[in-house]
Amino acid sequence: MGYQSELESRLAKRVTKAIVDYQMIEDGDRVMVGLSGGKDSWALLQLLDVLRQRAPIRFSLVAVNVDSGYKEYKHDVIARTCDERGWEYRIEHTGIGEVIEDLLGADETPCSLCARLRRGVLYRLADEVGATKIALGHHADDFVETLLLNLFFAGSLKAMPAKLVSDNGRHVVVRPLVFVGEDEARAYTKERALPIIGCCCPACGNLGLQRQRVKAMLADLEREHPGVKTSMLKALGKVEPRHLLDLRLNPPSELRRRLDAPALTRLPLVTSA
């Protein structure tokens, strides 16, 4: 089975690299794909299906859509598309939208709470459908944006992992699009004629949100310095702990032990009280 286009071939190779580098999918896995109906989750589902048919290992896919309960959300389009393409799927209708409205004030940003609530539903559904892995559609831009968000607004030097084990130790979450850019995912979804569906959340697309501001800043930087986002993504895989200020990584007592004998003789004698 050949690839349908040069774009599909390029993206499939990047997804394969992510799967191999981080050991995301193994023989016999049942992979549950979080399908929101946005460009990224459609691209992920389609690419994994292409690779499933070519891979030397056997794994199955099931798409799961969490409907937050907004009236305008077109979950019927998701069901029809999955039926047409022969993809196993499940749609879970929830009241997440109402819960958010009840808990948050009018001026509060719902994204973080929404993500936590949806994650809880996904973990439950993973158990119900017998999934061994949960695949999410975060792409390379998401990794870089999250890095800057934590750096600017949380005082933390972290992004998101390509593969993680949930806090309860029961689920493995993977992000196979880590090496795929947002524009590439958008182009691939269009090429494959997959219907992009908005989440219908009132906050969606609000440029006042921190993530949207960071996205706009990165777009400006990329125009002025092409390749800067790729460089930042590479930096996430090339960490130099010795050049950071985290005392957990560089405890002063450990640094002292690294000195050779002549250097130690020049230091003041340390005595215990």
Per-residue model confidence (pLDDT) at position 261: 72
- Record the pTM: 0.87
Superfamily grouping for domain 6-204 = HUPs (3.40.50.620)
Per-residue model confidence (pLDDT) at position 18: 98
3 state SS of 34: strand
Instruction: Please give the single-letter amino acid code of residue 118.
Output: R
* Alpha-carbon span 38 to 50, nearest angstrom: 19
Per-residue model confidence (pLDDT) at position 94: 75
Per-residue model confidence (pLDDT) at position 265: 75
Per-residue model confidence (pLDDT) at position 253: 82
Q: What are the strands, taking DSSP E only, across the chain?
A: 30-34, 60-67, 89-93, 133-135, 163-165, 172-174
Task: Kindly tell me the burial class for residue 78, based on how many C-beta atoms sit within 10 Å of its own C-beta (0-12, 13-18, 19 or more).
Answer: buried
> In order along the chain (273 residues), what is the average pLDDT of each group of 10 residues?
92 98 98 95 98 96 84 82 96 72 60 76 94 98 96 95 94 98 98 86 61 93 97 97 92 79 70 53
Task: List phi, psi (to 5°) of 67.
Answer: -85, 115
